[in-house]
Amino acid sequence: LRDNRIELVRASWHELSISVSDVSLSDEGQYTCSLFTMPVKTSKAFLTVLGVPEKPQITGFTSPVMEGERMQLTCKTSGSKPAADMRWFKNDKEVKDVKYFKEEDANRKTFTVSSTLDFLADRSDDGAVVSCRVDHESLNSTPQIAMQVLEIHYTPLVKIISSNSWPEEGQSIILTCESKGKPVPEPVMWTKDGGELPDPERMVVNGRVLSISFLNKTDNGTYRCEAKNPIGRNSTEYVLIVHDVFNTLLPTTVIPSLTTATVTTNVALTASTTTSATATSIRDPNALAGQTGPDHALIGGIVAVVVFVTLCSIILLGRYLARHKGTYLTNEAKGAEDAPDADTAIINAEGSQVNAEEKKEYFI
């Protein structure tokens, strides 16, 4: 061996050791050790030199990228022997759908490895870290990594948040317009039903917040919030409905018949009234709060009983009068009212049995 990088380390009758510094690919090959005896004895060993891959680089990114554009990022490394392994990650999550290429270098011993990541830019990718990782046995389990932070520009995303889910007359409401975009959107613009806000004294805009005080029915309508940036503009709408002041009314229980019934009603006076009954409950819209309607079934039953008792009484009285004949006088009794005794009465009677031709009766 004739090379200044090769040094004799140990030499004896039993051992001969050398060291090679600054190893290169040219050092790869078969090495032979000979013992000059009769006959000569030899031993051979093949030395394999690994090609360490260069630090990878990512190309193809131009900042910024508009949302919806197609991006092609290429990661490349040279000098690996054998060919290195390459993988893509987005925010520490591996991306599988990539293209892998391998080709020999000019020395015909090492390889250049490249991989392409192809995708459509999305607003969710803004700020994402894309990394290319190269693994090789020469790196002693310490991979080489190249990183690229994505910058995606997109139109504003607009959303309206209401402070009152059930606005009533006399109350206030705050509408907050949240807008997110890149570049940051300009101050938002509020409109109502396609025009300007009709009452600036009650409808106050402070940045992205619209405050409306002392709500009334004229405030009903569609409120639009619009935001824009150099990429474009976007808007969203909120339909405001002002409700009447809510009054909790007690329900009226109605039984649809004239018969007697047992009704059980449980009423909970809370934000919402819950009624459980064996009959249908109907609320009178004209009834005052805290008052209940008359029990029509009970009144109808009482009237029916009174009418029935009256009819029975009239029928019984009629039958009694029909069977009672009253007080009446026969011809025999005429002229005997003042007689002192019965014999005299018979003698004095106009219609006595002696003179009477016939007996008559008169119904009074």
CB contact at 8 A, 156 and 229? yes
Higher confidence at residue 283 or residue 158? 158
For the cut 90, the answer to whether the pLDDT of residue 117 exceeds it is yes
DSSP letters of 253-282?
A: E--SSSS------EE--SSS--EE-SS-EE
| Domain that residue 37 falls in | 6-47
34 in a structural domain: yes
Q: Are residues 182 and 223 located together in one domain of the fold?
A: yes
Residue 36 lies in a domain: yes
Looking at the fold, whether 139 and 164 belong to one and the same domain comes out as: no
What CATH number should be reported for the domain holding residue 100?
Answer: 2.60.40.10
Q: Is the pLDDT of residue 282 over 60?
A: no
Same domain, 64 and 41: no
On whether residue 338 sits in a domain, the answer given is no
Residue at which a domain ends, from 188, 218, 240: 240
Q: How far apart are CA 31 and CA 44, in angstroms?
A: 6
Whether 343 maps to a domain, the answer reads: no
Do 64 and 43 belong to one domain?
no
Report yes or no on 106 lying in a domain: yes
Pairing of strands 129-135, 111-120: unpaired
Say if residue 91 is in the same domain as residue 132.
yes
CB 101 within 8 A of CB 74: no
pLDDT 10s digits, 314-334: 988 888 787 655 554 555 555
Element (H, E) at 32: strand 29-35
Q: What is the pLDDT of residue 354?
A: 47
Let me know whether 102 and 161 are in one domain: no
pTM of the model: 0.57
Residues constituting the chain: 364
Please indicate, yes or no, whether residues 23 and 86 belong to a single structural domain of this protein: no
188 class by beta-carbon count within 10 Å (0-12 exposed, 13-18 middle, 19+ buried): buried
Q: Domain ends where: 100, 123, 150?
A: 150
8 Å CB contact between 206 and 188: no
Number of domains in the chain: 3
User: What pLDDT, on a 0 to 100 scale, did the predictor assign at position 129?
Assistant: 96
Does one domain contain both 61 and 39? no
Q: Which residue has the tokens 């054998």?
A: 82
Q: Which of 196, 219, 240 is the last residue of a domain?
A: 240
- Inside any domain, residue 161: yes
- Token representation of residue 130: 């894309």
**How confident is the model at residue 270, as a pLDDT?**
36
pLDDT tens by residue, 172-200: 999 999 999 999 998 899 999 999 999 99
| Interatomic CA distance for residues 25 and 52, integer angstroms | 10
Same-domain status, 161 and 112? no
